[in-house]
Copies of this chain bind each other. A is one copy, B any other.
Amino acid sequence: MPDMKKLTRAEQKARRPAQILDAAFEEFVERGYVATRVEDIADRVGVTKGTIYVYFETKEQLFEAMIRHISVPFEDLLASAHKLSGTCSERLESLIALLYDHIVENRRLRELMRFVISEGSRFPQVVDRHHEEFIDPLNAYLQSLIDEGVKHGEFRSAPAAFADAVVAPAIAMLIFTLIFNDRRVLDKTTYFEAHVDLILHGLVA
């Protein structure tokens, strides 16, 4: 008897955790941490409640594991940022493009922001980890980019907190997208152009 299904039972089993985390993501996005039932997640995977508890001890640990699971693409973003080359302006523009591509467009990273905002007080470690691992490094890189631009005479000397202002339009678009889900369509390109236009004019020496 030829094995029709490409997945052996062992392979099937190896995928379970990821399957559960993917399902958990969808359910938690839809209803939030408290209102999501473990059974909803199980149903989405096509198993029963009990199975979830085979892999995760509590709903809380499942949530935290899910957060780690969807945070992975952030590492790519950081890696990509560090590989940029060109003038400071060019690198800045590319960095902003990366933000739009990874954060605004990637649903998982977008919803990660929603979890940080809405479940933050229930899972403070999640927020802190998120910032220590992603936001702070990104901000540091951006700051170094601005400093370098200033030193090279490419950018004018800028006040403190400038780095935050520089990425703000991407954050704002991310938030709007989160809020409107599908009810209003926002055009990424239009936003990106206005963003780059504003900050490059605002920064040039």
Contact = CB atoms under 8 A, between A and B. Distances in A.
A34 interface: yes
Contacts of A120: 179, 181
B193 A159 contact: yes
A58 to B, nearest CB: 16
Most B-side CB within 10 Å, residue of A131, A156, A164? A164
Interface of A is mostly: helix
Interface stretch (A70-78, A86-94, A196-204): A196-204
A175 interface: yes
One complex includes copies of this chain to the number of: 4
B159 A197 contact: yes
Interface stretch (A18-26, A46-54, A110-118): A110-118
A30 interface: yes
Contacts of A122: 31-32, 35
Contact of A202 (B173, B175, B202): B202
A66 to B, nearest CB: 17
How many chain A residues sit at the interface, stated as a range, is 35 or more
Contacts of A158: 194, 197-198
B191 A117 contact: no
B194 A159 contact: yes
Contact of A34 (B32, B171, B179, B193): B32
B30 A121 contact: yes
Interface of A: 30-32, 34-35, 114, 116-122, 124, 127-128, 131, 156, 158-162, 164-169, 171-173, 175-176, 178-181, 183, 187, 190-191, 193-195, 197-203
